[in-house]
Amino acid sequence: MHKSKLIELLKTFSTSELREFKDFVGSPFFNKNKELILFYDYLKKIAPVFPLKKIHREYIYANLFKNKKYDEKHLNYLMSFLLKLAEEYIGITKYKSTGILPDYHILSSCLDRQLNKHYQNYYQKAKKKLDANPICDIEHYYQNFLLAQVSDKHFGMQKIRRYDANIQAAADNLDLFYLTQKLKYACEMLDREKTLSVSYQQNMLKEITLYLEHFEIESSPAIAIYYHIYLTLTKENGDPYFEKLKVLLNEHTNKFSQFELKEMYLMALNFCIRKVRKKDEHYVEEAFVLFKKGIENRSLYENDLLSPWTFKNVIKLGLRLKQFDWIEGFIKKYKDDLDEEIRENALNYNLADLYYYKKELGKAQDLLQRVEFSDVFYALSSKVILLKIYYEKKEDEALYSLLASFKVYLHRNKVISNNVRKSYLNFISLLNQIIKGKLKNPSVLKEKIINTELLTARSWLLEILEFNDKGMLN
């Protein structure tokens, strides 16, 4: 039962949600089956750990129905209905948190029932709530549209023949909602096309961008930001649009939800990463600054935790910029924001990376021995650093052994994508050519390293090739 959808869902509940769901299950409006109340009471006592022994089907049934023989069908029935209640609960709680959406349906119902006084009173509350919200994202325009729409419906029911501003407000906010959402989709499609081998159809985009050329985009922060992201993705020289995008993100950070701001930051970061891959070193620092700001304003967090990949990426960029003291402080300051399950692994790997860059190779090597290779990407990155250490410490036997085992690992591991696998296999091949070759024509090998499309640690390979060519290493 530990892999059931019911247990998987209940494991995501916070302490307050587990407590609130007890009231939900106990409410006769939602549930009249007393067996479900008993069933949830039992599960709540063992949440959120849900020990395997205590969620064994026969064990649960014996606790719930002491004088009954185990009935698989009966237990499946209880699990199915409790799951349905849990899904209803998360749907309703999510609905209640969606700004004025519940208010809109109450107002609409008041109009359907011709409760004019109720409508007037509730409309003022909903309008006040909407106006007090500083967030100005896509959902903001949609909710303004809904409130104007229901207000226009109310005006129409009064049978008054005069100008009504609500229909204009409804139309304007619908335009803003559509333009923002359409631009966001366009940016996401273009961004994915540049990252993955996919192609999307962009309907009406030409007409929308023509319209936006004459639109006062500064009046809408969301449209302004997505429009400049779009321009960085479509213009041959996206640099000036990126500069403006940075200004807009700084000015309007507090006007977006964390989720919305994260998506904006990630698209801006993807632009920087593409520039870095084209050997534009200026964008290493640009990406570094964006990562730092995204961490400081917590837009790059997820569920109040810092992703190990965000943690690793900002450190990688800092190392490239030789910001060693800053990185050491960053690791100490933010290590507790990592998920506890992966924290030790992340610390060992990233500290090892820092020590490698500082040429404290012994310390780096010791830490890498502690990195668990259960995560394939930590395994790949750790093996590359170890190869660099063995090479630089002239530990030939260890170097050749790891090169051989690394190649086997890459071929056998089916989790690794073809492109990632190819980039590491190319690294192994080129490193082998450097250490085994006589380098009669190093310029040819240099061109090969520069022009190999999929290649990890390109700059390091070029560095050791030049070192060998000058006869500084034997």
Query: Is the pLDDT confidence value at 374 over 80?
Result: no
Return mean pLDDT, the chain.
Answer: 93
DSSP 319-368: HHTT-HHHHHHHHHHHGGGS-HHHHHHHHHHHHHHHHHHTT-HHHHHHHH
Instruction: Give how far Cα 388 sits from Cα of 288, 327, 356, 364, 393, Å.
Output: 24, 21, 9, 11, 8
Lowest mean pLDDT among 213-222, 242-251, 354-363, 460-469: 460-469
Is there a contact between 203 and 186 (Cβ–Cβ < 8 Å)?
Answer: no
pLDDT tens readout for residues 387-443:
999 999 999 999 999 999 999 999 998 888 888 899 999 999 999 999 886 556 788
Q: How many separate helices (H) and strands (E) can be counted in the chain?
A: 23, 2
C-alpha span between 248 and 287 (Å, rounded): 16
CA max distance for the chain? 94
Full-model pTM: 0.84
Record the tokens describing residue 272, joined without a space.
């920087």
Q: Where are the domains of the chain?
A: 5-96, 101-178
Is there a contact between 284 and 317 (Cβ–Cβ < 8 Å)?
Answer: yes
Give me the pLDDT at residue 194, please: 84
pLDDT tens readout for residues 139-192:
999 999 999 999 999 999 988 888 889 999 999 999 999 999 999 999 999 998
The pLDDT of 124-135, averaged and rounded, is 94
The pLDDT of 21-39, averaged and rounded, is 97
The pLDDT of 218-228, averaged and rounded, is 94
Q: Which is nearest to 282 in space by CA: 229, 325, 234, 242?
A: 242
pLDDT tens readout for residues 294-314:
999 999 999 899 999 999 999
Give me the pLDDT at residue 438, please: 55
